[in-house]
Structure 1
């Protein structure tokens, strides 16, 4: 077992053994269903781990010019790029680093198609569509809510697809299962099935949590094979969370314990709003190793507070077998996906270090952050 005492605090730690297990599962599904899986950088952009990723999948999806460049440099491949909007100043670089470009609107497709056609390599273009169906309950993550800016609705395509569009893209899932996907595909085919004969590929976006212990991978494979048999379209899937689901943790340290109106708060050297923003956005309560996820009567119970000055920078409550003391280590589980990609330096709070526990249980410190990292983001 790795020596956790050698890991600095705070620190995001990827566990290679768990990571490879997810990657192998994704590779197996890809082969069985004859679909292409690519990594979504918006959930996981820890490029020091990309050499491991490349052993199992070859591509990635980018949501911006910077992500597209990262794909080219570190995944060693051209990106499948989608952005809600492209700007003139970014498009030349996006063309340079992309094999596929998906447009969010018909207007953007028409505006930039001449540039695409003048690129020095073949780029396949797609259009994001809105199936107007989603089983995502959290409004913040539902791209099919009324008035959504994401994707073209069927009534906007009464005259067919723009010239040179070769694919359709939809993204309507979030940590969802294969039955949610099947229902979404039914809605998609009902609204856009008449256009399938005009395209070569379909990108089913992300939100496919195939590495969750309760995910029915056999049902997913059957669903995808049935879709392919009916349509003949190449299927691309781009989950992010599934790659890094339960593959690492955030190590933190208790720095103080305060009490107000009977509520004891253990303040750690990390921040929910700065380092674990999805906990507050989703919201969800993360697991702490060795703690009771819900308060247990008679056991020491604490709210956990972050080290920023935001009043709402806390979560709670957890119970422990013994009272917490200053200097205790708290390990937040499953803190690799949608963490590092969303972190901020609000308040000038130091960013957690980044490391990997390799298959041999040796810990490698990949990156630390200092004052210059904070200062260089400002002017």
Structure 2
């Protein structure tokens, strides 16, 4: 079926492109011995989970329902991080998740006795901002609620955790990861040999054409060999990058100083980042802004 024959609006997943992305991620795993997880908050098309599971180590979740999805539909390693957990959810998470990562010392202390099956981790904040255009998503910004800073790190926590986690990137290249790791080592290096795993979070645009895969692999190997750590990455967009389309139809053209197209899709419902960031979404064959007769 041709794309212009589809009933709109609809999402179309390009399985061939998805496989190409997954092959790149699989090679990084093979080259370095790291484990790569699908961040489900970026892509949760579970019809493709059996395919994705052939390439990746598992899934990561931002809450109970995503954790259930990864557990039920992929059935491999299942990790979860949330800024805070509900008491009524934590027992189920401990049952279905391999890793539970806490955002604060208080949350860790509150639930450490309840969690008897999962490996526990603590999110750290290296206080190293690398985001220019994506400042709204910067977890290292002053006053950030995400992760424990070095000043607030309680060494007693090392008795209860197996790993540390950081997530500071958004659609970024490996040079920003390298810079972040320098900050991680500077602030938390003394603790890295006390844990068994390090989760480098998401935001790694690994499948982008200009991404420096060699530098990524160098960073992974350095942390792995220097501190004897198992390394995890949690890319989301990199798994599905350029592998899907929102197909819409022009319903009308409105004239009022400018010409505006009315389409059968909603930015708020189908492309919320366009409003939240905000940014100009990619439109097939549209060129750059101002390049063609209509933008």
TM-score, normalised with respect to structure 2: 0.96
Would you say the 8 A contact 1:68–1:78 is kept in 2?
no
**Residue aligning to 1:248:** 244
Would you say the 8 A contact 2:63–2:82 is kept in 1?
yes
Would you say the 8 A contact 2:193–2:228 is kept in 1?
no
Mapped partners of 2:291, 2:47: distance in 1: 40
Mapped partners of 2:261, 2:190: distance in 1: 58
Mapped partners of 2:159, 2:87: distance in 1: 20
Would you say the 8 A contact 1:101–1:126 is kept in 2?
yes
Residue 282 of structure 1 deviates from its aligned partner by 2.2
Picking from 227, 231, 237, the partner of 2:227 is 231
Q: Please, what is the CA RMSD of the aligned residues? A: 1.3
5+ residue gaps in structure 2?
Answer: none
Higher gyration radius (CA): 1
Residue 222 of structure 1 deviates from its aligned partner by 1.6
Would you say the 8 A contact 2:29–2:35 is kept in 1?
yes
Residue 142 of structure 1 deviates from its aligned partner by 0.4
For residue 201 of structure 2, give the secondary structure of its aligned residue in structure 1: coil
Mapped partners of 1:78, 1:18: distance in 2: 24
**Residue aligning to 1:146:** 142
**Residue aligning to 1:198:** 194
For residue 155 of structure 2, give the secondary structure of its aligned residue in structure 1: coil
**Residue aligning to 2:45:** 46
**Residue aligning to 2:265:** 270
Mapped partners of 1:206, 1:158: distance in 2: 25
Picking from 179, 185, 188, the partner of 2:181 is 185
Which 4+ runs in 1 deviate beyond 4 A? none
For residue 162 of structure 2, give the secondary structure of its aligned residue in structure 1: strand
1:328-357 deviation per Cα after TM superposition (whole angstroms, max 9, x unaligned): xxxxxxxxxxxxxxxxxxxxxxxxxxxxxx
Mapped partners of 1:53, 1:76: distance in 2: 11
**Residue aligning to 2:74:** 75
**Residue aligning to 2:21:** 22
1:98-120 deviation per Cα after TM superposition (whole angstroms, max 9, x unaligned): 11101111111111011113xxx
Q: Does 1:174 align with 2:170?
A: yes
Alpha carbons of 1:189 and 1:160: their partners in 2 closer, same or farther (altered >3 Å)?
farther
1:238-272 deviation per Cα after TM superposition (whole angstroms, max 9, x unaligned): 010100001011110001110112x0001100011
Count of aligned residue pairs for this structure pair: 294
Would you say the 8 A contact 1:106–1:162 is kept in 2?
no
Mapped partners of 1:218, 1:186: distance in 2: 17
Residue 78 of structure 1 deviates from its aligned partner by 4.7
More helix by share: 2
Residue 162 of structure 1 deviates from its aligned partner by 4.3
Mapped partners of 1:72, 1:101: distance in 2: 14
1:116-169 deviation per Cα after TM superposition (whole angstroms, max 9, x unaligned): 13xxxx311000000001211223210111111111111112534342211000
TM-score, normalised with respect to structure 1: 0.75
Q: Does 1:218 align with 2:214?
A: yes
Q: Does 1:164 align with 2:168?
A: no
Would you say the 8 A contact 1:130–1:144 is kept in 2?
yes
Residue 8 of structure 1 deviates from its aligned partner by 1.4
